[in-house]
Each structure stands twice: as structure tokens, then as C-alpha cells.
Structure 1
């Protein structure tokens, strides 16, 4: 059966269309997640648990920097003072399943974005569809950069700080596996989504909810929010918060530029119509 024109579709037709797009997204995540589940030993040993080894690239780089300026640091230690434990019967199985789901979502993210684009594209003009196709590549690229930033910056900084933080020598850090994986998952996923800020601003500007003037006016408030956000997703030390805050602030500035470009293009189209 031929697909109805968007102008002929009722509210229920739109819901049915959205349902099929969501089904395709879930199937993609499940299929890729199944592959990740089969490869779980490699994922855990070589990716998830890699920040627990002192030869992790981030530790090696920061240790070299500390040695260059002659500063003592925990990044040059022999090992992370942390022992992972499983305290529940289904703990390791649950960790395996949810890690596979997360891996499925991350790896299939371009397809997820594509399906959302397929849902909203019929409402666009032909020239808008032509110019917006690149956003799938851009949004996927930003997401993967954010994931890498979370994995190589936020994760090792958080793990190193929290593992070496001690209130007494009487206390050993014996961490439940769910707590450790939760830290890695939240750091990676939060960073990936935060790096989507320019894309979000683009669409908010397109629908008229955001303007460059609005973003400039509330820039100082955005700075406070960024610092609070950095404090939430990183350990409570100034250096880590600054490292996380800088790229977010850069993304905010890029978002202002994107919003400005969208407004400029809209005004040009209005002049052409007149």
C-alpha cells in the first residue's frame, strides 16, 4: 500500500508512522546489541575495564605532563587501588545485558538518527530536506566525539580520583561491578548527548524557540549551568571540571554561530519571497 501524503495523514496515522520508526530503532539496537553480547569478553576486558590499568593512554599522557613540570601525581602509580566485586547472583549477567544494550545504542546511533529524520522529513520542504541530510553525519560525528571524550577524559579522571580518595587507611575500595559500570556508562552516554548541543540548538532555532540574541543574553547563566554540570559528571576537583567545561563552552559558542546562520538563511528566504 502506498504511503499517504503528509497532508492527508491523520493524528493516528502519524502515531502509526512513528510506531514503525521506533520498532526499526529497537530492532537495530537489539541486533547490534546481540553482536555486542557475543563479543562481551572483548568489550569488558579491552574497553570497559581498560581505565583500571595504569597503561591507559590518558594516565600515560597525564603522567608525562606531571613529570615534565615535576609534580607528584596519582597518574604515575603502579595500579588503581580498586577491587571490583559482584555482590548479587545476577550481577554479572545484568551487567553483560545492559552493556550490550548500551553498545547496541551507541553503535547504531547513526541509524537511530536516520529513522528520526525519516519521520520528520516529510514535513519539510524539498530544499530543506536536501540541506538537512548532512545533519545525520554531523550529529553522528558529534555523538561519537562526545563518547570518546567521555571514555578517554571523564572516565579515567573520575576513576583515578575516586579510587585514590580515602578517608582512612582502614577502608579499602571494594567496588560493586554495577557501580563501576554505571560510572562508565553515565560518563560516556552523558558526554555523547551533551555534544549534540549544536544540533539541538539548530532545530530550536528553526522552530523559533531560540535566537542568537537569546543565547548571548543568557551566556553567563549558561556558564554557571555548565560548571554545575561539570561538577556532576566529574570528580570534585577544579582541574577535571575545567577540562570538561571547556569543550561544552566551545559547543555553546558554536551553537550561537549555528543559530545565527539559521536566522540569516531564514531572512534571506523571506526577502526572496517578497
Structure 2
């Protein structure tokens, strides 16, 4: 082998060696980026768990008052085994603690996804998150003040001389949660419709054309998410959906001008 050939071989080997770190560097950066995202996700989940735990702990000190407020529409209740009352108080504390920590939970979700959003999307999300929390609590309040007492009295109306309503505390709390949560989500409907209108996906003309579909669909949704199969409870869910749809149509037509 000539001296020129040896020199060319050495240069090619040095070129391969010099390019190897350049190939590995982006892979290492991507791996560190993924690890960083997972670490941030873990940290925010821990913050959410701590917030819910602290909220539940605070609410546990007021569990007796909370249970009294929740069970007021049903009157006197019973617990059928020694552990039922304790677990009922625990469920009430966790449920109330989650509602208390909900702003913290949504903020952590927002803080995690906001780096991947554009400036316009960040502004929209900054409005959507507080609005969604407000509408969720309005739905829960609507159910507690109007729907829950009416539904409870409706079912207690089946009492006769030979039938006495004796509600279990645990069963009533399950009924309570199943009545409140659907209304919290149902009241998000105007926000959902307004977002679609802002994006140009739907218009007021489209909403007017779908009135009959919504009328039928609201009762189908009421039948699906209703905790009981009776028409009364289904109607109590369907009627707010129809009214919220009409309110959304009014906002899209006269406020957004679409």
C-alpha cells in the first residue's frame, strides 16, 4: 500500500470518528427532553394529589355539616352496618375536597400544556378554563337547589301506609353524586358551542336547523346519564340541555354575529 493510500485511509477513519458524536447528540437531547416532560408531568400530578388531599382533609373536619347539608332534602337517613357511616363521611370529604381543589387541578393541566400552544390558543384557554369551572359549579348548584329536592320528593311520594321510605346513607350519597355531576357537565354545553362558533365550524343557522335533533337528543342523553329510569329525572336533565342550547344559539347569533 502506498503512502498516499495510507493517508487517505487515515483521513476517512478520522472523518467517521468525528461524525459519530454529531449523530448521537440529537438522540441524547431528545431523550433528555422526553425525560424532562415525564418529570414535569409527575410533579404536576403530585401537586394535584396533594391539593385534593389537603382539600379532603379540610373538608373532613366539616364532614358532619356537609352530610347534614347534603341529606337535608331526604330527611332522616340510616346506616346499615358500622362502617357505612365512616365511609360515607370519607366519600363526602373526598368529593368536596376535589371540588375545592378543582381550580388547582385545572391550573396544573393548563401549565403543563401551555408551552405547546400558540399565543392565540393560550389566550383562548385562559378564558375557557375559568369559564368552564364557573359553569361546572353553576350546574352543580342548579342541581342541588332545584333538581335534587324535586327528585327526592318525587321518589318519597311513593310512600303509603304500608310503604315507608328508609333511605340508606351510602345509597343516598351515591344518588346525590349521580344527580350533581351530570348537571356540572351539561352546563358546559354553551361553552362548547361558543368555541365551535368562534372556530367557524358552526353558525347560528346551523344551530337553528338542528333544533329538532337537539330536542330528541336531549331526552336520549337524559335517559343515558339519569341515575334512575323514570321520565321525571330524565326530563329534569333534558330541559336544561334544551334551554342551554337556546341560550348558546342566542349568543352565537347576537353576540358573535355568526
TM-score after normalising by structure 1: 0.68
C-alpha displacement of 1:188 = 1.5
Q: Which residue does 2:25 correspond to in 1?
A: none
Unaligned ranges ≥5, structure 1: 1-6, 54-82, 266-274
Mean alpha-carbon deviation: is it higher for 246-255 or for 93-102? Answer: 246-255
Cα pair distance change 1:201/1:121, threshold 3 Å: farther
CA distance in 1, matches of 2:34, 2:197: 25
Cα pair distance change 1:30/1:202, threshold 3 Å: farther
Q: Contact between 1:146 and 1:195, CA under 8 Å: does it hold in 2?
A: yes
C-alpha displacement of 1:235 = 7.7
Is 1:221 the counterpart of 2:213? The answer is yes
CA deviation map 1:85-133 (0-9, x unaligned)? 2112311111111111110111222222222222222222223323431
CA distance in 1, matches of 2:156, 2:234: 17
Q: Which residue does 1:236 correspond to in 2?
A: 230
Q: Which residue does 1:187 correspond to in 2?
A: 179
CA distance in 2, matches of 1:172, 1:190: 29
Please give the secondary structure, in 2, of the residue aligned with 1:51: coil
Q: Which residue does 1:43 correspond to in 2?
A: 66
CA distance in 2, matches of 1:24, 1:203: 29
Q: Which structure dedicates a bigger proportion of its chain to helix?
A: 2
Mean alpha-carbon deviation: is it higher for 240-249 or for 113-122? Answer: 240-249
CA distance in 1, matches of 2:39, 2:206: 36
Q: Which residue does 2:170 correspond to in 1?
A: 178
Q: Which residue does 1:64 correspond to in 2?
A: none
Q: Which residue does 2:46 correspond to in 1?
A: 23
Cα pair distance change 1:257/1:120, threshold 3 Å: farther
Cα pair distance change 1:197/1:34, threshold 3 Å: same
Please give the secondary structure, in 1, of the residue aligned with 2:167: strand
Aligned length: 226
Q: Which residue does 1:137 correspond to in 2?
A: 130
CA distance in 2, matches of 1:201, 1:12: 37
Q: Contact between 1:158 and 1:235, CA under 8 Å: does it hold in 2?
A: no
Q: Contact between 2:64 and 2:89, CA under 8 Å: does it hold in 1?
A: no
Alignment RMSD (CA, Å)? 3.5
Cα pair distance change 1:35/1:146, threshold 3 Å: same
C-alpha displacement of 1:9 = 8.2
Q: Contact between 1:157 and 1:234, CA under 8 Å: does it hold in 2?
A: no
What does 1:55-204 align with in structure 2 at a 5 Å threshold?
Answer: 83-166=76-159, 169-201=161-193
Unaligned ranges ≥5, structure 2: 1-29
Please give the secondary structure, in 1, of the residue aligned with 2:216: helix
Mean alpha-carbon deviation: is it higher for 217-226 or for 131-140? Answer: 217-226
CA distance in 1, matches of 2:114, 2:31: 15
CA distance in 2, matches of 1:17, 1:255: 37
C-alpha displacement of 1:242 = 4.7
